[in-house]
């Protein structure tokens, strides 16, 4: 697995998605975790924790963030965050619109995955 186990089971809370005994967890979510890097988990968790709906090149909407702001919040390089967004979008965690710039919008797959991973967390 490409994600460090300690990240999965400690701070990121993905152990819920990894537990095959949880009947509400989709098998596809377990496979998704296996394909993720640590950075992907950090991006997902930060978006969920802050209840953000989109990542855009620029925004002043409090329910959206920029790649730069997201990178600063999780202490990663901007390119690292964009690489994770692209990877997660390829696994259908985001809908993407391109009108001059690429924007990533959380979708039902993202929300259900995060509910499975963090059933105890209610976003702000």
**pLDDT of residue 90 exceeding 50:** yes
Domain count, the chain: 1
Is residue 4 very low, low, confident or very high in pLDDT (cuts 50, 70, 90)? very low
User: Where residue 53 sits, what CATH number does that domain have?
Assistant: 1.10.10.10
| Positive or negative: CA dihedral 96, 77, 100, 45 | positive
Cα–Cα distance for residue pair 102/50, rounded to 1 Å: 21
Q: In the 8-state DSSP scheme, what is residue 95?
A: E
- Give the residue from 67, 107, 72, 78 showing the smallest Cα distance to 91: 107
- Domain that includes residue 102, residue range: 5-117
Is residue 80 very low, low, confident or very high in pLDDT (cuts 50, 70, 90)? very high
Q: What are 6-39's pLDDT values in tens digits?
A: 343 333 355 555 555 556 678 888 889 999 999 9
26 or 62, higher pLDDT: 62
* Residue 35 belongs to a domain: yes
């Amino acid at each position: 697995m490409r994600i460090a186990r300690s990240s999965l089971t400690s701070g990121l809370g993905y152990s819920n998605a990894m537990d095959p005994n949880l009947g509400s967890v989709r098998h596809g979510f377990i496979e998704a975790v296996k394909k993720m890097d640590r950075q992907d988990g950090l991006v997902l968790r930060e978006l969920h924790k802050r209840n953000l709906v989109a990542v855009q090149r620029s925004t002043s909407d409090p329910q959206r963030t920029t790649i730069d702001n997201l990178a600063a919040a999780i202490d990663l390089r901007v390119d690292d965050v964009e690489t994770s967004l692209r990877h997660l979008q390829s696994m259908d965690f985001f809908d993407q619109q391109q009108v001059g710039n690429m924007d990533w919008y959380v979708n039902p797959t993202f929300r259900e995955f995060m509910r499975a991973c963090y059933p105890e967390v209610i976003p702000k």
